[in-house]
Structure 1
Amino acid sequence: MSIPAIGVRNLRVVAYTGTADDRPGTKIQDRGVAASPRGRAGGVGPGEIGNFIITGHRVSHGRPLERAPELKNGDHVLISAGGTVYDYVITRTMTISFRKPAEKAQQNAAVPGNPGAKPTQPMLTISTCSTPEDHAAGNYWHDELGNPEHRINKIGTLVTTR
């Protein structure tokens, strides 16, 4: 994965069966790479109809997504897989709380933000922690895996492949 606007170049994304920010995904992220949950409760692969979810650390383990919150609408995210480059464009930001199951479901939904909606296009969710923002607001809550209360999700849609 490359995200030119924030200086991410050739970040390895490891696919696994699971949901965003679960124990297997966190172990992958702890190796300094990004994780991509797949399957019934996770997302889809690059270019597929539905939500292609990528999670990565922002403040630890090499901080590969340190600058993800800086992504703006119109910024490109390039995914290289199997000789194809998938070009997604960021369209919005969605912040969710890990303490609210309904919000967590929005992150993992086939249509980001709309649990239960049927997907009609390939979409992307880049997800990372909001630890600096939570701590600045005096919120030091975290789950058993160290995830802070809030996640910052940058949502995009596939615009082209080459």
Structure 2
Amino acid sequence: MSTAATADVRGAWMRRVGVLLVLAGLVLGGYVAWQLWGTNVVSGRTQRALVEDARRAWAEDGGDRASGSLDTDHGTVSAIVHIPRFGADHAVPLLEGTGDDVLTAGLGRFTDGAAPGGRGNFALAGHRVTHGEPLRDMPDLRPGDEVVVETRSWTYTYVLDTGGADLTVPFTGTWVLDPEPSNPVGSVGPRPGEDHLLTLTTCAELFHTDDRLVAFGHLVSRERTEP
């Protein structure tokens, strides 16, 4: 094969490789865009729908308040969580469990922990980026901020004892989910003597998940929800 022919073949392969690299870049860029924006649109719509569905079901079943949970295609909704620091209209459905399907639809409750308003550690998880980002502004939380948990029968108000950026733990730091969490390496932890605790957990970094931000609070009041 002549030198010119060899150069032509080499050039053709280089063009093909270049096209493949461009296509790969477009696919990767599309995936990143979907994760960062597309999932927020879809999950935001789902979360708003679940909040509306829960409130509608609670109102229609007001005469029978024995069970406050609502089974949906996305999981079991047990409450609606409001964090006023995130805005007056902040309302996110709380679902049972912390699997991927649950966390795309709202906040998830660690089911080994306490139920809303219950004795023990009422521990919640949520995304900080993608899938609706219910805890994106976690670092903005301050001690004294309220977390209001609305169920069919009761509205529980918790007050934070630590800020949203005060404690970072590795994903293996499961002590934060204990019934009585005790920090083995520092002083940041729940307020001593409280037995109705709240724990919020989310990713510490926006684009990888090696560590978790954790905030602790305690129950300060509960009010009966009107039928």
Which TM-score band (shorter chain)?
0.7 to 0.9
Q: 1:109 aligns with which of 173, 178, 188?
A: 178
Correspondence list, 1:1-162, <5 A: 1-7=81-87, 9-16=90-97, 25-31=99-105, 33-39=106-112, 43-92=113-162, 93-98=166-171, 101=172, 104-113=173-182, 121-132=195-206, 148-162=209-223
Q: Which structure would you say has the larger Rg? A: 2
- CA displacement, residues 103-147 of structure 1 (integer Å, 9 cap, x when unaligned): x221211123359xxx85110011110123xx6xxxx5xxxxxxx
Cα distance, 1:83 vs structure 2: 2.2
Number of aligned residues: 131
Distance 1:126 1:86 in 2: 15
What TM-score results when the alignment is normalised by the length of structure 2? 0.53
Contact between 1:29 and 1:56, CA under 8 Å: does it hold in 2? Answer: yes
Distance 1:114 1:155 in 2: 12
Distance 1:120 1:73 in 2: 15
Q: Relative to total residues, which structure has the larger helix share, 1 or 2?
A: 2
The code of the aligned residue for 1:112 comes to P
RMSD: 2.0
Structure 2 residue runs without a partner (length 5+): 1-80, 185-192
Fraction of identical pairs, as percent: 30
- CA displacement, residues 3-52 of structure 1 (integer Å, 9 cap, x when unaligned): 00122622000013xxxxxxx52321123x1100112xxx1101111110
Q: Relative to total residues, which structure has the larger strand share, 1 or 2?
A: 1
Q: Displaced runs of 4+ in structure 1, greater than 6 A?
A: none
- CA displacement, residues 55-76 of structure 1 (integer Å, 9 cap, x when unaligned): 1101111111111121100000
